[in-house]
């Protein structure tokens, strides 16, 4: 069934596909985009749009998380980022932005900015500070999701939940249901998740088997993707998102059958920049997407247009671009609001704004009115 | 029969091809290009060359439409563009050109120009103004084709036909024979086309099924293509033209058999820039092509070298590049006439001028003397 | 047997390969490059290296043709170029070079230079002038090959042969054994070649069938290729050289069998720039190559580093880049001699110099010592 | 079994893959990277990391070789480079660096630098000088590996071994077990290696058959790769590393069976720049890698950031880029230490630093703790 090639004598490799390799094929009666329903239900929560934000301090200021909620999505706070480490959060983020914008490295990857991120992340987590900030967002009425790493989940999760986190995101670049380590106590996710009172979204994963194991831990949602697009260079590991989403969707079907009806949500986190990418991710089987760079230009984003993934601050082996702002801020052009990026109207032709409007139009032109059925739309690969 | 790949467990995608993926393979006795006949007959009309212009205000000034007729092709007026919205049409187009040429956005997509297009299109359509302008072109003796959207076809078609439109073009980025909407009255194209006295060319479509349904509406011609090359980014939908044209040609054969002889014409609108692209589109099965950017440099074109597709002025979700003029106007070089672009002689080596001469030569070198038989020429894909 | 894909419903295209898609695979005992024999025998002529020059005035000054002979190859004069049209040949070529070097068109295709080429080619051919110049080269003792087009072969061939042409090259971008035209008398190549006393090399062709027909005309050699790399844009016709050479080689085998031993030589003219490309062309089945841009930097070349193919001067539909010189002449660096380009030694690492040395090394590393057996070396395609 | 395509009638080519075509697929329980063992045992030697340096004077100063040993790897001295030819080695290398950095050739290949390399290599090898320098490194306690060419192996090997070389590297761009030459005495590697008292690592090879023959010579290790990335342009020969490593690994298995247990090591030398590439090479079956450009920025490297492969100094047919330093030295930024490049910590996100840390992480995320078992990790190809 799978499509394998022999790359050398006796050595096979599976053929995989990225979102940019595929496109959506309309073949039914067209519909009105105003008839499209983009509601996303996960556990007891309902969101108007199937959009989470990547857990990075480049996005998540308190204002940003609150505004995400207002716009129908879910903003995610990184418990191991700067919120709990830097008393003056704005100033800390501003220093990173300053570092990246003053670096003329043509590759776009700022060693200075990464070094500064590492320095800022070397500060210990002040749990009270972090709890206060989470509670502040919670107090606004916004749904609060907080991300912890598998390594520190046991330590930090109780605190962030107590502070107000309604959804726990356990996210590393690549995780498994049972991490093996010599000495030390590994995190058994099944036991851990079973002990929590809030729904857990866990990942990232990239393959059927790991996803199946992760589903069996009781997670409400699975993140598909590697968290950064430099993993290929750094680790030789790449997650071609079209294949990964489709594989994990197959695991979801299998697990649904195995459990007699437990539906685990799939959140795609990778290769998604435009409204067309969002549509493709859902067409491959995702229930929702996690957006990063797409949301960075928003006026409410902490980084003022700069972006870096959570793993860019890793102390010894950072990954991911630290990107300078697009020209919005250089050119005196006003930054678009998060509302404009998500819901338009747009003056931009490449699907970087009015993301949800683009998704609605894609679904409508293909004749679908809800996200779940759109997962079955026809696909094409180029050549 | 179709070539499918499994992109992930249990999820298939069809392999599709763009015009740039293919090339024409000569394998018969060569002929003289002077023996080639490029005549295109559709309904009661005969054109010397199988070329329509894309319905954009960047091309269609009254002079341009009249000159298209003189050169053997068919110029198309956009009834929902600026002709009926702006009393001073030249000044309105000039403002857009000014906006795009003064924008130094390196991506070539001008947010300023798009915002201005949106503003100019926000003005209501003055039906008298539009009718006068259509009538003016008609009075010249030129064949007049006018484009309306499916949404406003019922409202505008009677007026534009009365004003002189001999061919009605019903064109949206992606349309279907029956649009479904909750509330409101959808356009049933079959009934609508049956009620008109002029032939209709409708599209765009991208697949066999939708094309078959559209043929059954009674349309004289079907437009293949999505109207803009940014649909992939905005919607995740892309129309690989070689596959789309071949698929719709197959639907034409089927429909021809089903009706015992009704031949529906296929007009390709996408990926076509050079004379080589025109030849490829016909080789894939098209009867004619709709040219956009190719015609933009013409001295007679309204945009003086600038180009934008019709959908670039969409109020909430614009698509398509607004392109600044090539260097003709910057460098003090004289703009080529439409005649030179279509019929040469040319001093340009990449098939951007003498489009029809290139088509003739391609056919002659492959041993074909008419468009219909050239649809069977041998094809190759690269790798 | 052939590898076909279905690009759309019911429409197939053959999968084809360029030289850049393939590479040579060594798998035998290595040899010394000094043991390699690059001799090329065609008809009664023996050349030390399997190299012809493309018939363009950008290369063929009298000095260049004489030097090609000294270096073991075969320089080709274009009878329909400037030799017979311009009394002051050097000045005419210098004007073209001046036109292209003073044009700052970033695409590298100079409309000014093409317009000038068209103007210079509009002058009539002075047969005495052409004959004198051919005779001058012949008087040096160099083997003289002259190219005529199929259209003017009957008219010009007797004169150029009388003037001293020992090998006649009948070359158009795409030719066939029998050209069909309404009215006028087509050139029947079989009768025509039978009437000549000198061996004929004819082309270009791109496919098995046309090549087979051309072999049956009695030609001593067949040119594979389309003469320029802009045919794809201009005509939609592209000649993927690896496939074309292999196909024509198969026709050679078939024709050899059919005739009980008549061996027709294959000369590859396209996609060949470096010594690696020469090796690949021969590995695909070519007996020799026709070099163009590769030889342009030679001090002896007429164009002083500029290059254009013969078809760039076409009066109505020019094709091919007119290329400005590489930096040799701008930077005050001395132009390499033709000897250096063909035989080295080189200070250049990308196979642009010491072309024959590179071919020798490629053959030696693969364990082959003559060109004919090297046509069987193992090949790989990338991916 | 092999995957062949027909590139033309009756002519086949094998489909091959580069490291950039593939990626590693995690599908097991994750592990801690601190549990990963990167030890490499070859013959009687044990290295902490599976890394050799490419035998170029751009890397190997005495300090560099000593530091490589300290960091767990193996530095390789080129016996036919400048160590034995230039009394003032530092000055000679500095001249090359000066030549390449002062050359504004945009292609990055410096003809001036190559000409200077050729001049510097034209000096005869002073065996005493070379022996003294080798002995100096040996005296430091570092393991010394010295490279000779197959052509001069018989002449130079005894001397370099006497001077202290513990491992002999016999390396040319493409070698075979038995080189055939008319006249002169070819090097029979089997006899030659049998006569030596030190282990030999030999290559480069690219295919199963040549590798098998080379294994039968008694070599302890086989180098896979062509030594430079310009071979494709110069020779038409390319070594797609994923396929080549896998093929040679298959030969290793076969030879292991044939000999009842003799394990020959595979060292990959080509396409490897980042930590991800290292992981991929091992995943394809390599036991170790030979790094070139990756190590060039090290403060200890002779070339101060410049790089050229050994074959760039070839007297008649040089190959390989002579690369100017990255911006470390231009921008006043401190050059990273070899330790930082190999072991981090890094402030760089693309796997150019902390190479071994990246390898460890890749293995750990895939659930492997030793190099040998990691050769079986799952692979994917893109599309």
Between CA D231 and CA D15 the distance in angstroms is 19
Residue C242 domain flag = yes
Pairing of strands A288-291, A4-8: unpaired
C200-213 residue pLDDT tens: 999 999 999 999 99
Of D21, D250, D327, the CB nearest to A10: D250
Tell me if residue A221 falls in helix, strand or coil.
strand
Residue D31's DSSP bridge partners are A180
| Alpha-helix runs per DSSP H in chain B | 62-70, 89-101, 111-121, 127-139, 153-163, 189-194, 208-215, 231-235, 241-259, 275-284, 338-343, 355-365, 371-374
Name the residue among A176, A179, A181, A268 with its Cα closest to residue A219: A176
The reply to whether A30 touches chain B by the CB within 8 Å rule is yes
Task: Give the model confidence (pLDDT) of A330-378 as tens digits.
Answer: 455 688 999 999 999 998 888 999 999 999 999 999 999 999 999 999 9
Which string of DSSP letters, residue by residue, matches B262-298?
PPPEEEE-SS--SHHHHHHHHHHT-SEEEESGGGTTS
In this predicted model, what pLDDT tens digit does every residue of B214-224 receive, in sequence order? 999 999 999 99
* C275 found inside a domain: yes
Residues in chain A with CB shorter than 8 Å from the CB of B5 are 3, 15, 17, 381
What confidence tens digit (pLDDT) does each residue in C179-231 have?
887 776 777 899 999 999 999 999 999 999 999 999 999 999 999 998 777 88
Closest by Cβ to D29, choosing from A115, A178, A230: A178
Q: Return the half-sphere exposure (C-beta side, CA atoms, 13 A cut-off) of residue C248.
A: 37
Q: Which of D267, D315, D317, D316 is nearest to D292 (CA)?
A: D267
Which residue in A1, A31, A349 is closest to B319 by CB distance?
A349
Distance from CA of C277 to the nearest CA of B (A): 17
Strands C145-148 and C167-171: parallel
Which positions of chain D have pLDDT values less than 50?
1, 106-108, 329-330
Which among C136, C145, C128, C130 is positioned nearest to C81, based on CA atoms? C130
Residue with tokens 């480069």: D204
Contact status, residue A341 vs residue A14, Cβ threshold 8 Å: no
Is residue A114, in this structure, part of any structural domain at all?
no
* Contact in structure between B134 and B169 (CB atoms under 8 Å): no
Among D27, D278, D345, the residue with its CB nearest the CB of A210 is: D27
Percent of chain C with pLDDT over 90: 81
CB contact under 8 A, B381 and C109: no
Task: Return the SS3 of D242.
Answer: helix
| pLDDT tens digit sequence for D281-298 | 999 999 999 999 999 999
Chain B: residue whose CA lies nearest to C103: B331
Q: How confident is the model at residue B2 (pLDDT cuts 50, 70, 90)?
A: low
Percent of chain B's residues with pLDDT above 90? 82
Helix axes A355-365 and A275-284, enclosed angle (nearest 10):
50
pLDDT, tens digit (0-9, with 9 covering 90-100), for B203-213: 999 999 999 99
- pLDDT confidence of residue B100: 87
Q: What pTM does this model have?
A: 0.95
pLDDT value for A230: 84
CB atoms within 10 A of CB C250: 18
pLDDT of residue D147: 98
Dist. CA B225–CA B228, nearest whole Å: 8
Residue that has been written with the tokens 């530092």 in this structure: D90
Per-residue pLDDT at A105 exceeds 90: no
- On whether any CB of chain B is under 8 Å from the CB of C369, the answer is no
The answer to whether the CB atoms of D284 and A7 lie below 8 A apart is yes
Q: Which residue of D has its CA nearest to A243?
A: D383
**How far apart, in whole angstroms, are the C-alpha atoms of residue B293 and residue B322?**
10
CB contact C241 to B (< 8 Å): no
- CB count in 10 Å sphere of residue B100: 27
Each residue of C75-111: pLDDT tens digit?
A: 999 999 999 999 999 999 999 999 888 766 545 457 8
- Average pLDDT score over residue span A278-301: 97
Token representation of residue A161: 């939940």
DSSP code, position A52: E
Q: Annotate D306-338 with b (16+ C-beta within 10 A) or e (fewer).
A: bbbbbbbbbeebbbbbbbbbbebbeeeeebbeb
Asked, for residue B170, whether it belongs to a domain, the answer is yes
pLDDT value of position C106: 46
- For position D214, what pLDDT does the model report? 96
* Chains touching D, CB cut-off 8 Å, 3+ pairs: A, C
Res B185 pLDDT > 90: no
Predicted pLDDT of residue C104: 61
| CATH number of the domain within which D286 lies | 3.20.20.70
On whether residue B135 sits in a domain, the answer given is no
For A293-330, the DSSP string reads GGGTTSTTSTTTT-B--GGGG-SSS--S--BPP-TTTT
Over 60: is that where the pLDDT of B113 sits? yes
Task: Decide the pairing of beta strands A221-224 and A200-205.
Answer: parallel
pLDDT category of residue A104 using cuts at 50, 70 and 90: low
3-state secondary structure of C31: strand
Under an 8 A CB cutoff, do C317 and B22 touch? no
**Which chain A residue shows the shortest CA-CA distance from B319?**
A349
Are the beta carbons of A232 and D208 separated by less than 8 Å? no
C22 by DSSP, 3-state: which? strand
Contact B9 A383 (CB under 8 A): no
Q: Tell me the nearest-neighbour CA distance from B252 into chain A, angstroms.
A: 16
The count of C-alpha atoms lying within 13 angstroms of the C-alpha of D245, restricted to the half-sphere facing its C-beta, is 32
Residue C315 CB partners (closer than 8 Å, separation 6+): B345, C118, C121, C122
Q: Mean of the per-residue pLDDT values for chain B?
A: 93
Angle at B311 between CA B308 and CA B314, to 5 degrees: 115
> Residue A245 and residue B8: Cβ atoms within 8 Å?
yes
CA distance B96 to B120: 9
Strand partners, C24: C379, D237
Distance from CA of A305 to the nearest CA of D (A): 20
Identify the band that residue B230 occupies on the pLDDT scale cut at 50, 70 and 90. Answer: confident
Interface test with B, best of A37, A339, A380 (most B CBs within 10 A): A380
Q: Residue D54, preceding bond cis, omega within 30 degrees?
A: no
What residues form DSSP beta bridges with D76? D145
What residue has token string 């030459």?
Answer: D181
Alpha helices in C102-188 (DSSP H): 111-121, 127-139, 153-163
Contact C317 B30 (CB under 8 A): no
Residue A97, both tokens: 């932005």
Contact across the interface for B109 and A380, Cβ inside 8 Å: no
Longest dimension (CA), chain A: 62
Whether B238 sits inside 8 A of A380 (CB atoms) is yes
For A178, the 3-state DSSP assignment is strand
**Count of CB atoms situated within 10 Å of the CB of D57:** 27
Give CA–CA dist A120/A315, Å, rounded: 10
Give the residue-averaged pLDDT of B268-297: 97
- Segments forming the whole domain that contains residue C168: 4-75+142-307+334-381
Side-chain half-sphere CA neighbours of B29 within 13 A: 11
**Does B24 reach chain C within 8 Å, measured CB to CB?**
yes
Kind of pairing, strands A45-47 and A40-42?
Answer: antiparallel
| Angle (nearest 5°) at CA B12 between B8 and B13 | 115
In a domain, B98, yes or no: no
Bridge partners (DSSP) listed for residue B188: B178
Q: C234 vs B379: CB contact, 8 Å cut-off?
A: no
Distance between CA D315 and CA A380 in Å, rounded?
52
- CA angle C145-C148-C149, nearest 5°? 145
Residue A10, in any domain of the structure: yes
Is A32 within 8 Å of B115 when comparing Cβ atoms?
no
* Per-residue pLDDT at B284: 98
- Angle formed at CA B198 by CA B195 and CA B202, multiple of 5 degrees: 85
Instruction: Classify residue B221 by burial, with Cβ atoms within 10 Å: 0-12, 13-18, 19+.
Output: buried
Chain B / chain C CB contacts < 8 angstroms: 204
* D373 interfacial to chain A (CB closer than 8 Å): no
- Other C-beta atoms closer than 10 Å to the C-beta of D162 total 12
Q: What distance in Å separates residue D14's CA from the closest CA in chain C? A: 4
Element (H, E) at A18: none
Write down the pLDDT at residue A377.
97
Q: Which of A50-64, A231-245, D176-190 has the highest mean pLDDT?
A: A50-64
- For chain B, the chains sharing at least 3 beta-carbon pairs closer than 8 angstroms are A, C
Q: How many residues are present in chain A?
A: 383
Binary contact (D5, C381; C-beta < 8 A): yes
CA distance C137 to chain B (A): 32
Antiparallel, parallel or unpaired: β C378-382 and C22-25: antiparallel
- How far apart CA A87 and CA D303 sit, in angstroms, is 46
Residue A102 pLDDT: 78
| Complex confidence, ipTM | 0.94
Tally the domains of chain A. 1
Rounded distance, CA B270 to CA B291, Å? 8
> How close does chain D come to C248, measured CA to CA in Å?
8
Residue B209 with chain A: CB contacts under 8 Å: 27-28
- Rounded to the nearest 5°, which phi and psi values hold at C42? -135, 125
What are the chain B neighbours of C237 within 8 Å (beta carbons)? 23-26, 276, 279, 362, 365-366
Query: Residue D107 falls within a domain, yes or no?
Result: no
Task: Return the pLDDT at C22.
Answer: 96
Return the structure tokens found at B137: 């072109």
């Amino acid at each position: 069934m799978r499509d394998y090639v022999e790359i050398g004598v006796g050595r096979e490799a599976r053929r995989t596909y990225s979102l940019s390799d595929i496109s959506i094929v309309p073949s039914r009666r067209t519909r009105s985009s105003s008839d499209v329903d983009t509601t996303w239900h996960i556990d007891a929560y309902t969101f108007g749009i199937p959009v989470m934000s990547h857990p990075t301090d480049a996005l998540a200021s308190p204002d940003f998380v609150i505004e995400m909620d207002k716009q129908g999505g879910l903003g995610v706070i990184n418990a191991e980022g700067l919120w709990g480490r830097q008393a003056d959060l704005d100033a800390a983020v501003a220093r990173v932005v300053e570092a990246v914008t003053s670096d003329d490295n043509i590759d776009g990857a700022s060693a200075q900015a990464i070094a500064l991120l590492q320095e800022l992340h070397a500060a210990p987590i002040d749990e009270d500070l972090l709890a206060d900030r989470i509670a502040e967002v919670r107090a606004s009425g916004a749904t609060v999701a907080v991300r912890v790493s598998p390594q520190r989940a046991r330590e930090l999760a109780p605190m962030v939940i107590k502070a107000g986190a309604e959804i726990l995101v356990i996210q590393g670049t690549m995780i498994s249901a049972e991490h093996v380590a010599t000495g030390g106590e590994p995190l058994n996710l099944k036991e851990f998740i079973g002990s929590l009172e809030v729904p857990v979204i866990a990942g990232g994963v990239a393959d059927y088997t790991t996803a199946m194991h992760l589903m069996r831990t009781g997670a409400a949602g699975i993140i598909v993707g590697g968290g950064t697009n430099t993993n290929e260079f750094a680790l030789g590991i790449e997650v071609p998102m079209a294949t990964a989403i489709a594989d994990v969707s197959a695991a979801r079907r299998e697990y649904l059958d195995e459990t007699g009806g437990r539906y685990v949500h799939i959140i795609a986190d990778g290769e998604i920049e435009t409204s067309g990418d969002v549509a493709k991710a859902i067409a491959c089987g995702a229930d929702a997407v996690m957006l990063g760079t797409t949301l960075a230009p928003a006026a409410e984003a902490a980084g003022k247009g700069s972006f870096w993934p959570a793993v860019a601050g890793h102390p010894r082996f950072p990954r991911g671009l630290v990107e300078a702002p697009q020209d919005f801020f250089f050119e005196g052009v006003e930054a678009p609001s998060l509302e404009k990026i998500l819901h338009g109207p747009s003056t931009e032709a490449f699907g970087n704004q009015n993301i949800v409007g683009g998704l609605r139009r894609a679904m409508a032109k293909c004749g679908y009115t809800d996200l779940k059925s759109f997962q079955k739309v026809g696909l094409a690969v180029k050549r």
